[in-house]
């Protein structure tokens, strides 16, 4: 609490002013009624990208020229602990193989005690005690496409996924996950998991992003990867999934737009992703970034809508193509958002019209031991300055190997990095012992975050468990 004596000092030095500012901002954050706008689904864990990223690491104190001055409080709770395995009895939450084309996992925590999580090939799980215990959501089935989860508060959440035997399905809970209503989704099928490994004749994939301004009003950007240039569609509902409208999406000049994140208010939307094309074989050291599910990343991209998703315009300055695949979007306020690409972090302050690079992997200390450089997987920002970033560094190929064999993320070194100044500087925190790569993060407030990590494995990385981490005390 701030007392009147805090303001009676005739002259305050810089340290005292900073202290007062931090206390006031922290109190403001605590009092703000914050609606959860965290992107529901993690971007594809692009293991093949991480395996070939060899960016040079440098000093933690490096900053990006042209950034605004550092501001905001120091990041609290920088020590992470393992909470639990994300698996109730009979769950199939596992990294099934070191395929290099990855699994896609989703985590969203609308409060410091409530979380929802799902995966391709898994079943929806939820917790109401900060992850100490997990329960399977009854009647929700097994997801065969990357599940999208969006919560407007701890009680009200929507989930969209292809469900085995049912096709595209829209699920809603209003009681914190105890019961769910099920309705057909916006399309007969949102597309299943990608061909693994992809063949030269069928190397497309499907990926979706969903955002809900209210529990009954949602927008979906749906991608079916056939590389036709017109593979992306937009669907919207304003009646809780009872009916859906369809809208066209701009076709890129070349390749397809594969969404990795979407955030909508009542009327505005921003979606980010990658312009992708097919590839026919794994290539290493070619100078191009390759996605983890049978695609070649051509460029980063962002699109905005001012009419609830009915029409879309391309960003005039999208995230850079040279940063690799776009993996994650977080929007702490109506116009400010951050994007995590494999090799860099970008921000917008104008609702997605223009983007600027604020951080690269070279701003973080490199991983210890025989590992390649970091590859970012997810970002979550509780405020415009307080963010957490996750990622992984893949082991370097053993002597005499070709270096082209994808490696399981359970063999990776995990990344947990925090910033208190909007990405100008980052501080690293060690993942708990036994955790490999960290694949998703969500921060319901400025002092509590949760992340999904992969159990660390040896040379045979199959059947690694997914574990929940938190920095909450």
Task: Characterize the bridge pairing of strands 167-173 and 157-163.
Answer: antiparallel
Position 337 confidence tier, pLDDT thresholds 50, 70, 90: very high
Residues in the chain, overall count = 473
Contacts of 207 (CB under 8 A, 6+ apart): 44, 104, 146, 191, 223, 225, 258, 259, 260, 293
What's the CA gap between 103 and 324, in Å, rounded?
A: 18
Contact 463, 443 (CB under 8 A): no
What's the CA gap between 60 and 267, in Å, rounded?
A: 39
The number of helix segments (H) and strand segments (E) in the chain equals 2, 29
Flag whether 21 is in a domain.
no
How large is the average pLDDT for residues 366-374?
Answer: 88
For the cut 80, the answer to whether the pLDDT of residue 256 exceeds it is yes
How large is the average pLDDT for residues 258-266?
Answer: 93
Flag whether 100 is in a domain.
yes
The residue to which tokens 């985590």 are assigned? 107
For the cut 60, the answer to whether the pLDDT of residue 78 exceeds it is yes
Q: What pLDDT, on the 0 to 100 scale, is given for residue 262? A: 96
Tell which wins on pLDDT, 341 or 64. Answer: 341
Can you say how many angstroms the Cα of residue 337 is from the centroid of all Cα atoms in its chain? 12
Strand order in the sheet with 256-264: 256-264, 269-278, 295-305, 313-314
Flag whether 24 is in a domain.
no
Consecutive H or E run containing 83: strand 81-85
Q: What pLDDT, on the 0 to 100 scale, is given for residue 72? A: 39
What's the CA gap between 304 and 391, in Å, rounded?
A: 27
Cα distance from N-terminal residue to C-terminal residue, the chain: 21
Position 202 confidence tier, pLDDT thresholds 50, 70, 90: very low
Q: Considering only 64-78, 153-167, 356-370, which range has the smallest mean pLDDT?
A: 64-78
What's the CA gap between 136 and 126, in Å, rounded?
A: 7
Structural domain of residue 196, as residue ranges?
37-470
Max avg pLDDT among 40-49, 135-144, 317-326, 339-348 = 339-348
423-434 tens-digit pLDDT? 999 999 999 988
C-alpha distance from residue 443 to each of 150, 381, 386, 447 (Å): 14, 7, 10, 8
Q: What pLDDT, on the 0 to 100 scale, is given for residue 458? A: 56
Q: What pLDDT, on the 0 to 100 scale, is given for residue 6? A: 31
Flag whether 141 is in a domain.
yes
Tell which wins on pLDDT, 383 or 141. Answer: 383
Flag whether 29 is in a domain.
no
13-64 tens-digit pLDDT? 444 434 433 444 333 333 333 333 333 333 333 333 343 333 322 222 233 3
Which structure tokens are listed for 332? 């702490």
Flag whether 401 is in a domain.
yes
Q: What percent of the chain has pLDDT over 90?
A: 40
Position 336 confidence tier, pLDDT thresholds 50, 70, 90: very high
What CATH number corresponds to the domain at position 451?
Answer: 2.130.10.10
Q: What pLDDT, on the 0 to 100 scale, is given for residue 145? A: 74
- Count of other CB atoms within 10 angstroms of residue 118: 30
For the cut 60, the answer to whether the pLDDT of residue 98 exceeds it is no
Flag whether 25 is in a domain.
no
C-alpha distance from residue 431 to each of 204, 262, 455 (Å): 34, 28, 11
Tell which wins on pLDDT, 12 or 407. Answer: 407
Q: What percent of the chain has pLDDT over 70?
A: 67
Q: What pLDDT, on the 0 to 100 scale, is given for residue 399? A: 59
What's the CA gap between 359 and 343, in Å, rounded?
A: 9
Q: How many domains are contained in the chain?
A: 1
Flag whether 14 is in a domain.
no
Tell which wins on pLDDT, 283 or 354. Answer: 354
């Amino acid at each position: 609490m701030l007392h009147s004596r805090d303001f009676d000092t005739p002259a305050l030095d810089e340290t005292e002013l900073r202290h007062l500012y931090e206390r006031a901002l922290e109190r403001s954050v605590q009092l703000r009624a914050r609606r959860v706008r965290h992107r529901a689904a993690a971007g594809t864990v692009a293991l093949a990208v991480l395996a070939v990223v060899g960016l040079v690491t440098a000093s933690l104190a490096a900053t990006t020229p042209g950034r605004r001055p550092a501001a905001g409080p120091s990041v609290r709770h920088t020590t992470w602990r393992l909470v639990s395995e994300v698996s109730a009895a009979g769950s199939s939450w596992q990294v099934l193989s070191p395929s290099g084309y990855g699994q896609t996992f989703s985590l969203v925590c609308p409060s410091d005690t409530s979380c929802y999580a799902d995966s391709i090939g898994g079943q929806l799980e939820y917790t109401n005690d900060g992850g100490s215990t997990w329960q399977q959501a009854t009647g929700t089935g097994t997801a065969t496409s990357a599940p999208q989860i969006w919560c407007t508060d701890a009680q009200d959440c929507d989930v969209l996924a292809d469900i085995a035997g049912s096709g595209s399905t829209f699920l809603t809970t209003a009681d914190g996950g105890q019961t769910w209503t099920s309705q057909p989704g916006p399309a007969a099928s949102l597309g299943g998991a990608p061909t693994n490994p992809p063949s030269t004749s069928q190397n497309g994939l499907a990926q979706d992003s969903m955002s809900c301004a209210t529990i009954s009003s949602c927008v979906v950007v749906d991608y079916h990867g056939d590389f036709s240039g017109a593979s992306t569609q937009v669907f919207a509902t304003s009646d809780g999934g009872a009916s859906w409208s369809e809208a066209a999406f701009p076709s890129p000049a070349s390749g397809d737009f594969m969404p990795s994140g979407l955030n909508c208010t009542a009327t505005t939307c921003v979606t980010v992703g990658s312009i992708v094309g097919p590839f026919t074989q794994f290539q290493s050291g070619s100078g191009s970034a390759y996605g983890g599910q049978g695609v070649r990343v051509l460029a980063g991209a962002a699109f905005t809508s001012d009419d609830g998703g009915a029409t879309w315009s391309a960003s005039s300055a999208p995230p850079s193509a040279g940063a690799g695949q776009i993996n994650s979007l977080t929007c702490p306020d109506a116009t400010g958002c951050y994007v995590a690409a494999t090799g860099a972090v970008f921000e917008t302050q104008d609702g997605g019209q223009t983007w600027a690079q604020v951080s690269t992997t070279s701003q973080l200390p490199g991983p210890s031991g025989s590992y390649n450089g970091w590859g970012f997987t997810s970002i979550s920002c509780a405020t415009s300055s307080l963010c957490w970033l996750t990622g992984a560094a893949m082991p370097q190929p053993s002597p005499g190997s070709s270096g082209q064999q994808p490696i399981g993320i359970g063999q990776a070194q995990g990344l947990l990095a925090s910033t208190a100044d909007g990405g100008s500087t980052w501080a690293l925190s060690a993942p708990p012992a036994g955790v490999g790569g960290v694949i998703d993060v969500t921060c319901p407030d400025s002092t509590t975050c949760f992340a999904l990590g992969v159990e660390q494995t040896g040379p045979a990385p199959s059947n690694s468990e997914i574990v929940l981490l938190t920095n909450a005390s």
